[in-house]
Structure 1
């Protein structure tokens, strides 16, 4: 009888010993002629590299210490992440700091928040990362180029001349395996403490929910510092003893067809991403590019990380039907980093349930079938709970709600993390929630949803709800409607701001050129007319902006609160704007206050 692993390290070592010559991972890249190429790692190679790095970490007393991982190279990330786990250290995946300014700021704040002792990167970036550490006042953090360490470069040998030897770290189920930093605030990052127990429980839930086996081929393009990219695409193949196929996010963003070609070329059966990824394929994959693709082996097309849109699934299935893709391959699901990854999901091969409901009833937190001639919204089921308990709860009274009533989604089970790193007050609120009847131990997700017949339908985000003229408006409904105004429109963000009253603000990306510039005022008026006619509220504030302005997380999740903050701080630079006078005064007053604050700081300095 095979012993049940007590931690993920034991499970990983078992797979390495069982299948040393089998391919564990293929890291795909696009060559100069856009042909896909892949570097492969066998299970034996994964084990040898990771254990060598783990021994180095153990020799330096890293057990229980936080180790930041900054890699653009997939193979090196695997080595560093598993090296941390094998050493008994706490891995801290983070976005590589190159490129966007907010990534540099985010990494700096994660370093401070997690109080990291070591930082793993590669030799190409080691110098820049060391400079970053010095610039933020943390030169004491040891920066290691893992490609050199694994290759046996100077600095990995001990004083006696030999390499350090790895030893079993003696991990317990409730020891923290890694910190998963959420995609929320850049300036105030929160690291979810994912334990070995959490990770094992959630991997089992994923396997049961998606019916994966050792013959499954799992893959995708999401970054490894994202929960779906890490637990879903990188670690799940290791759990199964199967093969993982991984594409850098930038290769997908630059050329979305690379994702579909990877699925075809390497026979991916299970994997996916947010709804945005499927939308991007619809917009940017040409008929010429899709000709000859075979997506028939892709039987579980995961759709999660943001609200699932029925119209996107319909359009994708129709567009790529000629490739062998089937509509029922879609696997809508719901999850979050605070529950490791998966909370609920459907049954592979079975069409997801959909409910077209009355929009006005939804505003009053009730779900009823749509009535002819009235505004409606189609909700897509995220399946049934997988390995956990899910309740729909009144966020104020904490009373459980019956079917067809919208409330906050609360979750309880072994996949739910211990809390945020060093955040006792946040943990008491979010991870120690108690129902009105005294039942405790729940995670408050902050998401809104409704149950029907055991199925979970996610309706929105509690903090994103717009309360305008006493009505509860879902921003995604406004965004979806506005995007249909013009073929030039891309992503949008809707939110509300308060001055003398609540105001709706719509920030809409528009693909424009000089020939279209004269139409911007007309397009803004069309947006206002659409919102007024469909939602019976005034959208007095419309900003038409360049593509790429609307902020999203690395997984494609819309950051409405970040957009609201940017608007209030005057950091959005529109091509055209219509702003109510009282809102303009609000923005200008905030700008004056910031200027005064900076002057005061300068005088004190």
Structure 2
């Protein structure tokens, strides 16, 4: 294939002084860390962890922004024989009480031997750790100060990553990823997109999310490419800076959710792209949430005059229990859309579905019915994954409302989809739907229709379920604008028939989301049924 399998720490032996990671600073410039400098920091971190009592199999929690310290903390834990676990820093949550509730559960599950953080998060994590009777967190810079590096890494731990699910269906679950599974996923991704050391990457995704961590950071380091690193809030403040960096440095690989593409379209005017070129881009991996074909088309139309190839837009599918990537569209192919078979009792509401490509090497995807039977092409059922890079299991409380499980039959994802000609088409969560006249309608499908009618991403969430014995559809608005309620009534009434329709109005930013920005539908649904939104809930009626 031309792209070799590489060990997780193999890059330490080949660390270049010429290539490395460029971190965006506040002066509109870059702080460069060569792989040689990062290697030294990794081995200093490993030595410091061992000196602090970290031993084989211990968990090291990382509450750090994307930074050289995070790279050193992650690979330093591996080099010390320990298991790294990335936990979202406070910036990822808008409300302090939500953050503390979320992170306390993660710490209880991970039970880290040591927690590394930065000055920004120290006080918050110190308070949480004290309440859970965990060791006091250590600021990364203090940990490695005046420490001599290890001569070389220790043997890898059996579990190379404790990774948390997004928690969109409830609390996040701790997933155990073996060193073999992590290595297999990184190799599979590099071979899928053809990522070689001479192809630079660029990313703004947070490293506490699997797409930013496994999909980008670990890949760029293990590959040995130049990597351009933004903070998520850098991107939100100025997506144009991200685009300029991509153009100026001939970046070949990047990735983001559908939300990121839509945000660029809203914030960057065509005239601002003058002089920028994107003909070097090989792969824009699009995952983590439902892909809107309208957004793909508009994005390509906006950027094609500046050299962006349609075949560089690569919808993909994956999840924490699969380490990350399961399927992906190959570079140069160009995305397509399909609808399920017309006679399918679980037909998709709304627009056609974007294909998320074919399985990466060593993986198999099947669609199964409720009784576990494999379904033919075009029929909707649960997506089941088998093969390499599946998680070893869960840690802590393994219960889940999401329906996702790992067993002898593989990974039952809890996601609905169908396959056509070998390509996977993903519809939504099986638990986030409502059967109407014998057909399943999915919340994510209705959200897509609302976005296409003008309600921005992340400002509306659709909930579907049976409340007080009555089929119910709910539109939760974050900062409602004139006309949104009428739009929601039109869309939901068209697809939900005689279901009761409700609107919930919360302030902008008030929709409960995961650390990666997905609406926590089941959490909101439970709160709604418990009466917590009673004062801001009203029927979605005409006028």
Report if TM-score (shorter chain) is over 0.5: yes
Report the Cα distance in structure 2 between the residues aligned to 1:224 and 1:243, rounded to whole angstroms: 17
- Is residue 229 of structure 2 the alignment partner of residue 246 of structure 1? yes
**Any idea what SS the aligned residue of 2:78 has?**
helix
Q: For 1:87-106, what per-residue CA distance to the aligned partner results, in whole angstroms no more than 9, with x for missing partners?
A: 01111100113553222222
**Any idea what SS the aligned residue of 1:62 has?**
coil
The structure-2 alpha-carbon separation of the partners of 1:30 and 1:291, relative to structure 1 and needing over 3 Å to count, comes to farther
TM-score w.r.t. length of structure 1: 0.81
Counterpart position of 2:241: 258
Report the Cα distance in structure 2 between the residues aligned to 1:473 and 1:494, rounded to whole angstroms: 11
Q: Per residue, is there more helix in 1 or in 2?
A: 1
Structure 2 residues without counterparts, runs of 5 or longer: none
**Any idea what SS the aligned residue of 2:64 has?**
coil
**Any idea what SS the aligned residue of 1:110 has?**
helix
Q: For 1:377-420, what per-residue CA distance to the aligned partner results, in whole angstroms no more than 9, with x for missing partners?
A: 21111111102333434353111111111111111122101011
Instruction: Name which of 62, 83, 89 aligns with 2:82.
Output: 89
- Is residue 37 of structure 2 the alignment partner of residue 45 of structure 1? yes
Q: For 1:472-491, what per-residue CA distance to the aligned partner results, in whole angstroms no more than 9, with x for missing partners?
A: 21112222333444568963
Residue 573 of structure 1: how far off its partner (Å): 8.6
- Is residue 493 of structure 2 the alignment partner of residue 532 of structure 1? yes
**Any idea what SS the aligned residue of 1:449 has?**
strand
The structure-2 alpha-carbon separation of the partners of 1:262 and 1:305, relative to structure 1 and needing over 3 Å to count, comes to same
Residue 185 of structure 1: how far off its partner (Å): 6.1
The structure-2 alpha-carbon separation of the partners of 1:62 and 1:149, relative to structure 1 and needing over 3 Å to count, comes to same
RMSD: 2.9
- Is residue 98 of structure 2 the alignment partner of residue 100 of structure 1? no
Task: Please tell me whether the aligned partners of residues 524 and 577 of structure 1 are also in contact (alpha carbons under 8 angstroms).
Answer: no
Report the Cα distance in structure 1 between the residues aligned to 2:125 and 2:350, rounded to whole angstroms: 51
**Any idea what SS the aligned residue of 2:261 has?**
helix
| Structure 1 residues 258-277: aligned runs within 5 Å | 258-277=241-260
Task: Please tell me whether the aligned partners of residues 479 and 509 of structure 2 are also in contact (alpha carbons under 8 angstroms).
Answer: no
Report the Cα distance in structure 2 between the residues aligned to 1:249 and 1:554, rounded to whole angstroms: 12
Task: Please tell me whether the aligned partners of residues 6 and 197 of structure 1 are also in contact (alpha carbons under 8 angstroms).
Answer: no
Higher relative contact order (CA 8 A, sep 6+): 2
The structure with more radius of gyration: 1
Q: For 1:479-538, what per-residue CA distance to the aligned partner results, in whole angstroms no more than 9, with x for missing partners?
A: 2333444568963221224213211111234564xxxxxx56xx5244323432455344
Counterpart position of 1:17: 13
| Structure 1 residues 424-573: aligned runs within 5 Å | 431-433=405-407, 440-468=408-436, 470-486=438-454, 491-496=459-464, 497-509=466-478, 512=481, 519=482, 523-533=484-494, 536-538=497-499, 540-572=501-533
Task: Please tell me whether the aligned partners of residues 45 and 143 of structure 2 are also in contact (alpha carbons under 8 angstroms).
Answer: yes
Counterpart position of 2:330: 347
Residue 187 of structure 1: how far off its partner (Å): 7.3
The structure-2 alpha-carbon separation of the partners of 1:473 and 1:170, relative to structure 1 and needing over 3 Å to count, comes to same
| Structure 1 residues 38-437: aligned runs within 5 Å | 38-59=30-51, 60-98=53-91, 100-101=95-96, 102-123=98-119, 125-134=121-130, 136-138=131-133, 140-152=134-146, 163=148, 165-166=150-151, 168-171=153-156, 175-184=158-167, 188-356=171-339, 361=343, 364-365=345-346, 377-423=351-397, 431-433=405-407
Counterpart position of 1:599: none
The structure-2 alpha-carbon separation of the partners of 1:315 and 1:167, relative to structure 1 and needing over 3 Å to count, comes to closer
Q: For this pair of structures, how many residues does the alignment match?
A: 532
Task: Please tell me whether the aligned partners of residues 468 and 503 of structure 1 are also in contact (alpha carbons under 8 angstroms).
Answer: no
Residue 376 of structure 1: how far off its partner (Å): 5.1
Report the Cα distance in structure 1 between the residues aligned to 2:493 and 2:511, rounded to whole angstroms: 22
**Any idea what SS the aligned residue of 1:396 has?**
coil
Task: Please tell me whether the aligned partners of residues 350 and 446 of structure 2 are also in contact (alpha carbons under 8 angstroms).
Answer: no
